[in-house]
């Protein structure tokens, strides 16, 4: 006598239900964001720090403040960024460091930026010729997959005065006035 087969094999059935469960969990986060029950974090620019040049690079740091307006913690899986000086893209980078924003709280993130050796002469030339050096930092923070894996974009623009840049160089070169 042969057995009658009334459904998919057990392994297929378990896989099917796992896929359904993951889709429901992911969909809930997207739905909550779309319906306004959850809001994406707010990204605010705190400032750009210029460090003394090193032998092969010029380190900078962009400080960003993330604010979670939600009544529950929010997990961020990392970020990517791009830096342009005087309209020219010089540096791109990313981080996979996770950040947890407390419910209704804030967290500061320092984005390390290294201008590599080939970009330094061009940057110095612009700084010495002009009164101000315009910069732009753009990128996005990646939300956890339960929130749909969305990316929260940011774009900040500012200027560094010639005096600020030269003060940093003087400190590095050791010249005194």
| Residue 61, domain CATH | 2.60.40.10
Question: Is residue 25 domain-shared with residue 73, that is, in the same domain?
Answer: no
What is the residue range of 17's domain?
Answer: 8-37
The number of beta carbons lying within 10 Å of the beta carbon of residue 19 is: 10
Question: Is residue 33 domain-shared with residue 99, that is, in the same domain?
Answer: no
pLDDT in tens, 61-116: 999 999 999 999 999 999 999 999 888 888 999 999 999 999 999 999 999 998 87
- Report in angstroms the alpha-carbon separations of 102 from 68, 79, 141, 142, 152: 7, 18, 16, 16, 17
Question: Is residue 21 domain-shared with residue 53, that is, in the same domain?
Answer: no
pLDDT in tens, 35-49: 557 889 999 999 988
pTM for the full model? 0.69
- Report in angstroms the alpha-carbon separations of 80 from 14, 34, 71, 164: 36, 23, 26, 27
Query: Who wins on pLDDT, 3 or 52?
Result: 52
Question: Is residue 25 domain-shared with residue 72, that is, in the same domain?
Answer: no
Question: Is residue 105 domain-shared with residue 163, that is, in the same domain?
Answer: yes
Nearest residue to 66 via CA among 87, 80, 49, 45: 45
Radius of gyration, alpha carbons of the chain? 24
The CA-CA-CA angle for residues 165, 135, 160, to 5°, reads 25
- Beta-bridge partner residues of 85: 88, 135
The CA-CA-CA angle for residues 21, 27, 29, to 5°, reads 115
């Amino acid at each position: 006598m042969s057995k009658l087969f009334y459904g998919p094999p057990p392994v297929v059935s378990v896989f099917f239900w796992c896929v359904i469960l993951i889709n429901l969990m992911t969909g809930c986060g997207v739905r909550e964001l779309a319906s306004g029950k959850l809001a994406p974090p707010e990204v605010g620019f705190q400032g750009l720090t210029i460090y003394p040049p090193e032998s092969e690079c010029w380190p900078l740091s962009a400080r960003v403040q993330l604010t979670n307006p939600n009544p529950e913690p929010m997990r961020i899986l990392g970020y990517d960024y791009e830096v342009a000086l005087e309209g020219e893209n010089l540096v791109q980078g990313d981080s996979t460091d996770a950040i947890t924003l407390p419910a209704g709280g804030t967290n500061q993130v320092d984005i390390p930026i290294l201008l590599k050796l080939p970009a330094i002469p061009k940057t110095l030339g612009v700084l010495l010729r002009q009164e101000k050096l315009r910069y732009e930092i753009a990128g996005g923070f990646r939300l956890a997959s339960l929130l749909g894996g969305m990316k929260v974009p940011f774009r900040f623009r500012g200027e560094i005065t010639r005096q600020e840049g030269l003060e940093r160089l003087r400190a590095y070169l050791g010249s005194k006035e």
